[in-house]
Every structure is written in C-alpha cells, then in structure tokens.
Amino acid sequence: MKKVLVASTLIFAGALTGCSSLNTSAPSLPLSGAVATDVKADIEVGEKITGRSSATKVLFFTLGAENEYADGVAYSAGANGGSALPFALPDPVESVKAAAAYNAIQESGADVIVAPRYTVQKDDYVVFGTINVTVEGYKGTIKSVQ
C-alpha cells in the first residue's frame, strides 16, 4: 500500500511540474538579398505603441484567444507553424503574436508597426499552459504610396 501511495504521489507531482520560457525578439540585419519594387511608401513614424494578448493552452486546444488578428505577423518557416509536416498543428504563439499586433494597431490608430519587438512568455505545465505576448514598436502612418 505504501509503494502505491509513493508511486501515485510521484506521478501527481510530475504532472504538476512544467517549464517556463521567456523570449524577446530583437531586430537583426539580413544576411544578404535584395528586393526591388517600383512602389514607394511615405511612412511617418510616430510615438511608441504597445499591444498585448494572451491565451491558455489545454492539451492541444487554445482557449481564451482573441478572434481578431493582424496579417503577416507569423515569422515561421511555413503556414503550419514552421513544421515540415503538412498535418502538423499550427503554433498557438503565432496567433497570439498576431492578436497583440492587431491590438497595438487598433489602440494607436497606426497603419503599420515600425520596428516591432515581441516579448513572448510561455508557461507550460504538460497538460495546460499560458502564453502572454507583448509587442512594442513605433506608430507608422502611411502618408502616400506611389
């Protein structure tokens, strides 16, 4: 009986343990490459803006995520969260990042976020976890496009 109690206590304690990570992106210089276009945009850079979003992950489901997102925020290698497998689940962090960017744009009235910097905090406890994202950048307002 004592062995069963010890074993069940260890299993229960293992289920409650987890890990936490914090990631802050920083702009980097491109290795090489050039993009040529005839389109020129005049963007006025304004004050610093911030947006936040969070979600709770239970098993493979994301709860409490927002339903409005900014396009073009996913920086992963593929549309399915960077996985090479076509049936892989999308990374929930990418959707929370997109929601944070949307919130920053909506609250400030910006057209774009200039030099965005994302801070991602993930707390993962095997069965559930939380994702908190903060984006900081500068308000970009498009004056003209030629």
| pLDDT value of position 33 | 66
pLDDT tens for the chain, residues 1 to 146: 778 778 788 777 766 676 777 777 766 655 666 777 788 888 899 999 999 999 998 887 777 777 776 776 655 544 444 455 555 666 788 888 999 999 999 999 999 999 999 999 998 887 889 999 999 999 999 998 88
| pLDDT value of position 103 | 93
Domain map of the chain by residue range? 19-145
- Distance from C-alpha of 56 to C-alpha of 47, rounded to nearest angstrom: 31
CB contact set of 12 (below 8 Å; sequence gap of 6+): none
